[in-house]
Amino acid sequence: MRKAIMTTMISVSLLAVTACNDNSASSSNTNNVADSAQPVFKNVSVHDPSIIMTDNKYYVFGSHLASAKSNDLMSWTQLSSGVVEGNVLIPNVKEEFAEALKWAQTDTLWAPDVIQLADGKYYMYYNACKGDSPLSALGIAVSDNIEGPYKNKGIILKSGMMGKGDDGEIYDATQKPNVVDPDVFFDKEGKLWMVYGSYSGGIFIMELDANTGFPLPDQGYGKKLLGANHARIEAPYMLYSPETDYYYLFLSYGGLAADGGYNIRVARSKAPDGPFEDSEGQDMINAQGSPSVLFDDSAYAPYGVKLMGNFEFLNTDDELPVSGEGYVSPGHNSAFYDEENGKYYLIFHTRFPNRGEKHEVRVHQMFMNSEGWPVVAPHRYGGESIEKYTKEQISGEYKYVNHNKDITADIVQSELIEFTKSGKIKGAVKGKWKLIDDHTAELTIDGSTYNGVFLKEWNEATASNVMTFTAVSKEGISIWGSHVSTME
């Protein structure tokens, strides 16, 4: 009964209309270079992929009833797509979810979450939203089989109404939640929770009955964790780390379209219902929009550790003469901790430079740094495991990316830096680097200290295994580096 999740984009703006209607798809086999050591990738399109592991397989469920499965987190098989009759997850979806679709005045569904409860059944937390307002419904459907079909058990929350909301108070979209983007999870004590929300009044959490999956009584909309005044914050996802004993709340800031500046952030708490703080010790309850400005990104951009935004690793003249590797508007992630091998994974959808709105699922390995914050490997997961490295392996020329802390559609393009054998950093930025123990990285760049790891992994753009680094500063800024790989 292990699960991990993710969700989609909700909003009270017209921007959300394009978001919820995004049904683009793309798939390809990226394994074109003959190399027995290279991983085999097969790509799928599942927007807002929420992950669950069962029967030694990984499944992702996303918006528009899209789903896919994989044995290794690298090669994926598409199972379903589209809110249409005959979808294997819910074959008679228009009838089964008629109440939710009617309430939300829509013909599609947004980011769901699936979890297995003690009865062995799979519980899908589905949601529908109008898109240009928080008129939404969130419900539960159940199946004996992870691949469906799921049968509706009813709506548990509604939002966007005129008059009183589900908490008995007058519904105010600037303070009350848009009931979408659910993530359902067990805490370390075995209690069942649901964190949810997007834009509108913020991100909320409530406790569920671990036997039935339904909310415990008298909670209303639950407890607010952050957000208000239509802050562009959504897609909450919770991951508990037994290594650090923290609950990590992943979030997506910005808009999910290619020009929306979507980016992945994280905050942490010792309790599943908060309070959550970022690496600067800021209480996330203060990550809110401005009452007088719609979508005031500058008000909440300083909050949360930014793990990833728009970037591109540019190939040098000495590398393969192909386009580089990068993402545009990566977000709406889920996360997963594999107890057997001790690995953490980040699962998300992303768009790509010069490819418009087409999106695919990506999986990257994560690590907890010396300060107890997750850092994300620069390249997609290719089956690698972190090992013991030497200074000689680490020194050399890198393509360097600083993800900064802003919410922007600009793409950060890599710059060249050099790690000298004497521990200096030269080139586009200057500083010092240090290898601690087997693979721990401590980097000082332009007066800021970044803590993370060194990791050797597969670079698709150069068709080679390269040394990388990933680290985050106390200010919540992530930096990546990928070794320049010369052709032999």
Catalytic positions: 48, 234
Cα–Cα dist 238/184, whole Å: 8
At residue 25, φ and ψ (nearest 5 deg) are: -145, 150
At residue 467, φ and ψ (nearest 5 deg) are: -75, 140
CA dist 417 → 411, 429, 433, 449 (Å):
19, 7, 12, 17
Amino acid at 73: L
Task: List the helix and strand counts (H, then E) for the chain.
Answer: 5, 31
Q: In what order do the strands lie in the sheet with 263-269?
A: 233-241, 246-253, 263-269, 305-308
Q: What DSSP state is assigned to residue 84?
A: S
Q: 364: number of CA atoms within 13 Å, CB side?
A: 26
Q: Which of 29, 57, 61 is nearest to 46 (CA)?
A: 61
Q: Are 173 and 12 in contact (CB under 8 A)?
A: yes
User: Dmax over Cα atoms in the chain, in whole Å?
Assistant: 69
* Number of Cβ within a 10 Å radius of residue 146: 21
Q: Are 346 and 361 in contact (CB under 8 A)?
A: no
